[in-house]
Structure 1
Amino acid sequence: MATIVVPYFDDAEVELAQEADRDDAKSIVALNAFLALTSADREADSRHVFACYKDFYAETGEPEWLDEEMGVPASPVEIWNSIRPGPLTLRKGWGDDDNWYVVIEAECAWDAEDGIMLVWRNGTTLSKVGPYNGHLTNANAYGDETLRDVVYKARNAEYMTRIVELGSR
């Protein structure tokens, strides 16, 4: 497997666990689009990952051990200090979904057991955040088309996030 540099994660090196499909130009476009994202894009996406953390934190009763272990993020942007990106894969959407998705499995300090799955539709739009479940969208994961624009599907509705404008960053 190849190792690639990902500007979105401050030039972190990650394993490219699955290369682009050379027979489908859209997969190459998605990978290149993702590799064009920067730390500014990551900052713009912070609210989704922070919501995931806050939901977990609330669900587990705001544990002091977690505060001691990872600290308390003072802002949504600081949540990225608790994320370590892992392998990157490219996957085509299911059924009539002809989008390509860039998927990163990452370690996160608040949920060491499950980690976090980050998915970008066509390499440009963070479209799913949550525990790794193998699904590319929340609509697929829950069999519910009303979740098509949901990025983080929270246990506590207060923390659910959506793509601001479907089809754009």
Structure 2
Amino acid sequence: MSKEIISKVIGPLQQDEDFPDWWKNTGTEIPFFNHEQLDITFMDFEPEHDAAFIEEADQALANFLQLTVEDRKSISGLVYKNCMDFLEAVGYDEDDEPLWEIKDHEEIWNFVYPSEILVSRRHRRDQKVYVQIACSCEWEQEHGLQLVFREGKQLTRVSSQDGHLTEADAYDKPDSEDELLSGN
């Protein structure tokens, strides 16, 4: 039997039939991506075990939904770097020529396709709520791209989709050594 929870920011979310700790809302307009509509999923959320989650998730989403295309453009260099690092690691392939020819870092967004937004609590260290945008992209077809924002406002990760919200978590290093997370 499916349950529903209510977000004051995005409205009702339905409990996933296969993953009872996932709650999905469909078709929310995302200003960061030119008002494209994306599904938003609250992950790893059990209402009886985390009474503060919905309020914290709502605040993180409210913060994230205030981000605009201009905010997206401001991180173009980091997404471009992710692309170039990947291409250099795998070596030249003529299919990637349009990526190699990018002159303005903002052009990288022509090769990024957001698919969904995942909202979850970091289970280590700061225990904050993070907003993760899962994207497919033309340079990393297998693992795609993820953009992660701490509390929906501070970019903390640009990487392939690997399940980690921070570089500190991915590489088991102190938060202070995570450049984006620590703000260094």
TM-score, normalised via structure 1 length = 0.81
Displacement of 1:17 in angstroms is: 2.3
**Paired position in structure 2 for 1:50:** 80
Distance in 2, Cα, partners of 1:138 & 1:34: 20
* Structure 2: unaligned runs, 5 residues or longer: 1-24
Q: 1:143 aligns with which of 159, 169, 172?
A: 172
Displacement of 1:104 in angstroms is: 1.1
Distance in 1, Cα, partners of 2:74 & 2:82: 15
Displacement of 1:99 in angstroms is: 1.6
* 1:60-82 deviation digits (Å, cap 9, x = unpaired): 223222115x5732211110111
Distance in 2, Cα, partners of 1:96 & 1:140: 9
What secondary structure, in the 3-state scheme, does the structure 1 residue paired with 2:42 have?
A: coil
2:155/2:180 contact within 8 Å kept = no
TM-score, normalised via structure 2 length = 0.75
**Paired position in structure 2 for 1:160:** none
**Paired position in structure 1 for 2:143:** 114
Match of 2:89, as an amino acid?
E
Displacement of 1:147 in angstroms is: 3.5
**Paired position in structure 2 for 1:157:** none
How many pairs align? 153
**Paired position in structure 2 for 1:40:** 70
**Paired position in structure 2 for 1:156:** none
* 1:91-125 deviation digits (Å, cap 9, x = unpaired): 11123313210011100011111111110111011
Distance in 2, Cα, partners of 1:147 & 1:90: 24
Distance in 2, Cα, partners of 1:43 & 1:29: 23
Superposition misfits of 4+ residues, deviation over 4 angstroms: 19-22
**Paired position in structure 1 for 2:52:** 23
**Paired position in structure 1 for 2:163:** 134
* Structure 1: unaligned runs, 5 residues or longer: 152-162
| Higher normalized contact order (CA 8 Å, seq sep 6+, divided by chain length) | 1
What secondary structure, in the 3-state scheme, does the structure 1 residue paired with 2:84 have?
A: helix
**Paired position in structure 1 for 2:108:** 79
* 1:10-62 deviation digits (Å, cap 9, x = unpaired): 11111112289773322111001000000110011111111100101111223
Distance in 2, Cα, partners of 1:110 & 1:14: 22
Residue range with higher mean Cα deviation, 76-85 or 90-99: 90-99
Displacement of 1:3 in angstroms is: 1.4
2:143/2:162 contact within 8 Å kept = no
